[in-house]
Chain A
């Protein structure tokens, strides 16, 4: 900051004039360099609305070094004249008796600030002789500001412990903050957006009284993944094109033998009121190990376990975990994704109950407008695709699949005749992509995600 003396002298000058003053005038009246005044103007401006300064530019003429020399000592010609000794020169050289040094006079005029008295032609000639130069000066037109005062109070940048202790803050003025600037980002860790959404879905199921299933088994036998669900062994989902099979460990063992026999029978011969699929069911197909294609394999294990209880008790189960498909990858499909699944088992559940539970579940996600489309799924009957109206896209979009598990799946497990099991599923990635406006799944999941996206992702409230 320029020294306070200059600042206050500047302010006193501004105070005296009406309508403002040019910084160059200030410089000449204070007898200081113009740049010093410019510095002072900037310092005063930093104090707030004390003065207003509008930038201007003007041109004027100035002497060059050679020009100054001439103004002081006379032009070269005059100096030659003067240099002639009084006695020793020939007649012919003394044709001029006296001279008038016009160049010097003109330069002296410019030096005194009277360049306007010279004609343009004269000035240009002197410019050509490199005695004069035209310079552009940037100056300020200074007027009083809304907070004008002739006294300078130094502004503090920050409150200090000393000021608090001494109470000096009461007398101090503080430099205003720039509220348009961004703050400094806090030094913190971040949760992954997909996992934030997972937490919300867990929360919703827990609020609805659903118990979490142990889904920490990515490797599953075809038996639990397909056969127990009454999915026939020639079903396309069991193809090499759709499912990852294992070469090591290739096969599973230790199936519950009685149950396995009942599954075999219902597939190949029927039973429990069903005609079955009437084909040659092979244990070798059932033994094949795979990466589970749905978490419904775990639901099957849980329902079998439930059926082995002494007495049936109603249950509500949920899970959210990874499943695997040997699919062709594109912007919306990866070889692995998270499946969300809900299951309710009780006596006398109806299709209306399934739609009622789905309505409650989706209401918690902020989706109230639902409709159901008949669909086909080998292990549920009826099967329904769930559609919700998307206001942004202005159309009905599929948000999940649902159905009532077939008796051919439940009765061989040993569940009582009157027990119905309703279930639904959806992917975790799809609602997350819609929620965060992500079009390519690789921008959300996997090692190629941009961490900045993770850093910047907002909290997840599914219902708002």
Chain B
């Protein structure tokens, strides 16, 4: 969720009144925003860099406001104020229209075929006769940054360039060239570089280096020229210095290059609608019935009052002449409206979620438990009654946990592997519950002995027969840790579990254990467990090397079975 930080006094000035913090918090809540923090530049710097650095900083009060991720129109002061004012009936929803320049033709941006391989789309617009104040200029820059970070997906989908139109001349050309053939003076630098040099130069730039990978390995880099061959920008990395804008800029040329055309249009619309009254996109309209809104929200309002509710949400609405339907104008600022249900939500918000009568659906159903979970719940209770304590361990772990430490070969584990773990703790999904229990023992070595633990939970195994190629398996695992190995204790627990599952000892239709070789266990102290002729798991005394590798010091016996055969 993006956070917008605005100066409180500036915000109140634009809203035409002041609020207490509580009043403003309440207003935000109704409108679906969250007043996240009340702070100042001084506070922020002092928190991050210490009081000393903060002494010079401004202590103007800042509101940090959380904005829903799809409301790009609320990412700057201008948009926030417009949204809130219309919501509170303080102003009418604005309408936008496109105008041509007084003298001459509209500007043109020519896109050449070379761009297809790297960044195929571009859209552009001009803001004419704009008057920046320092605050409006900051807000303009900040809006671009917010858009870059959110909808533009850190410039991968869309990159924005803004230029002083009076320093360049159209028509403009968007093309792609080999890195060594592009030379220009980049923003805020004193000399020219080739694109290849620039990529090296920005490797150490704390801000720009995050965007280099987007085009770095491409044979051709995107670039925009004006009619005199001046480089406007090399998207998505950097603009040229020649056309840079300032507080005094009067006419702004905005270009958005993109890999996603829909998003590029949204971004361009956002910028121009926030900062001008000129826009080249007509309104779209949607017609829906009052009945639709009433039945989905669970209210009973007239078409007129619903039209009023929607108008308050910047969706200018009117009841059609026959009175049956409501015609809703969707401004270009509201790219989030793609279905009638999005309009319904706005009606519900304007009505106030908390004013809607809470009703009980008449849906009649009979509850059922998932059989595997039902069995798990029953067994957990009886294992605790048998004197074992329940552990709750992670489903993700390191490769070492399920292989080396248990003296197993990773290839034999049937483990699923994670491709992007941030640390070794998340390399694989566990294939057995045993490492988690042993780690729990290790963290509790100071507790009085014996320690008796169990867990009933899922492990994950590769399985070609499922659509995703893996499946969960519900396991019961228990460990006994004491000065003596206590095989008889863990064996007794197996007998108890079998008794609970109504399986009698016996070769054919019951259960039995049989000596087995398993490198996790001490030689001659491991047995395989069979129920109804099928192997369901193992029990035994752990191998001293396994005990050591989990940083344990005492003998330990373990039971590990699959409970799904008992469903």
Contact = CB atoms under 8 A, between A and B. Distances in A.
- A and B: partners? yes
Interface of A: 187-192, 194-195, 199, 202, 205-221, 234, 236, 240, 244-255, 270, 272-279, 289, 291, 314-316, 322, 324, 326, 328, 334-336, 344, 346, 348-353, 355-357, 359-360, 371-376, 378, 381-384, 404, 406-408, 420, 422, 445-452, 454-455
Contacts of A448: 443
A252 B468 contact: yes
B468 A274 contact: no
Interface stretch (B181-189, B194-202, B382-390, B522-530): B382-390
A214 B452 contact: no
Given A192-B392, A211-B367, A381-B345, 18 more contacts: A189-B454, A190-B390, A191-B381, A195-B390, A206-B367, A209-B367, A213-B370, A217-B466, A219-B470, A220-B468, A252-B469, A253-B467, A346-B361, A352-B356, A374-B31, A375-B32, A376-B70, A445-B392
Contact of B298 (A252, A253, A353, A447): A353
B452 A189 contact: yes
B295 interface: yes
B440 A376 contact: no
A420 B296 contact: yes
8 contacts: A199-B377, A244-B418, A245-B418, A254-B467, A278-B261, A350-B298, A357-B360, A374-B349
A351 B296 CA distance: 6
A234 B297 contact: no
B416 interface: yes
A189 B369 contact: no
A199 B381 CA distance: 11
A187 B387 contact: yes
A250 B416 CA distance: 9
B452 to A, nearest CB: 7
B380 A195 contact: yes
A212 B32 contact: no
A356 B442 CA distance: 47
Interface of B: 1, 29-32, 34, 68-71, 153, 157, 260-263, 295-299, 336, 338-342, 344-345, 348-349, 353-354, 356-361, 363-370, 372-373, 377, 380-381, 383-396, 416-422, 425-426, 429, 436-437, 439-440, 442-444, 447, 451-454, 458, 460, 462, 466-472, 474
B339 A381 contact: yes
Contacts of A356: 358-361
B417 A247 contact: yes
Contact of A278 (B262, B367, B439): B262
Contacts of B436: 447
A375 B66 CA distance: 11
In the complex, the 3 A-B pairs of residues with the closest C-beta atoms, listed nearest first = A352-B298, A350-B298, A374-B32
Contact of A205 (B349, B358, B367, B380): B367
Contacts of B419: 245-247, 250
B467 A255 contact: yes
A373 B34 contact: yes
Contacts of A447: 391, 393-394, 436-437, 439-440, 442-443
Contact of A289 (B262, B363, B469): B469
Contact of B353 (A210, A373, A455): A373
Contacts of A275: 338-339
A189 B385 contact: yes
Nearest to B467: A254
Contacts of A209: 364-367
A390 to B, nearest CB: 16
A189 B471 contact: no
Contacts of A278: 261-262
B359 A352 contact: yes
B458 A216 contact: yes
A246 B427 CA distance: 10
B418 A408 contact: no
Contacts of B472: 216-218
B359 A350 contact: yes
Contacts of B345: 374, 381-383
Contacts of A210: 365, 367
B339 A326 contact: no
Most chain B CB within a 10 A radius of its CB, from A276, A376, A445: A376
A373 B28 CA distance: 9
Nearest to A349: B361
Contacts of B470: 219, 246, 249, 289
A344 B361 contact: yes
Nearest to B342: A381
A213 B153 CA distance: 35
Contacts of A316: 363, 365, 367
B290 to A, nearest CB: 14
Contact of B416 (A212, A249, A449): A249
A449 B363 contact: no
Contacts of B422: 326, 328
A350 B295 contact: yes
A344 B363 contact: yes
Given A218-B472, A355-B356, A376-B70, A252 B467 contact: yes
Contacts of A188: 384-385, 387
Indicate the member of A213, A420, A447, A454 with the most B CB atoms within 10 Å.
A447
Contacts of B31: 374
A377 to B, nearest CB: 9
Contact of B384 (A190, A234, A276, A324): A190
A451 B389 contact: yes
A382 B153 CA distance: 24
Nearest to A190: B389
B358 A350 contact: no
A218 B395 contact: yes
A407 B341 contact: yes
Contacts of A205: 367
Choose among B345, B377, B437 the residue with the greatest number of A CB atoms under 10 Å from its CB. Answer: B345
B348 A351 contact: yes
Contacts of A314: 363-365
A279 B370 CA distance: 39
Contacts of B416: 219, 246, 248-249, 289
A234 B156 CA distance: 10
With most chain B CB atoms within 10 A of its CB, the pick from A209, A218, A291, A446 is A218
Contacts of B356: 351-352, 355
A358 B388 CA distance: 37
A245 B420 CA distance: 6
Nearest to A328: B422
Of the listed residues A194, A220, A406, A446, the one surrounded by the most CB atoms of chain B closer than 10 A to its CB is A446
B418 A191 contact: no
Given A352-B297, A352-B358, A247 B348 contact: no
B500 to A, nearest CB: 14
Given A209-B365, A451-B389, A218 B460 contact: yes
A374 B422 CA distance: 33
Contacts of A371: 29, 353-354
A381 B468 contact: no
B471 A217 contact: yes
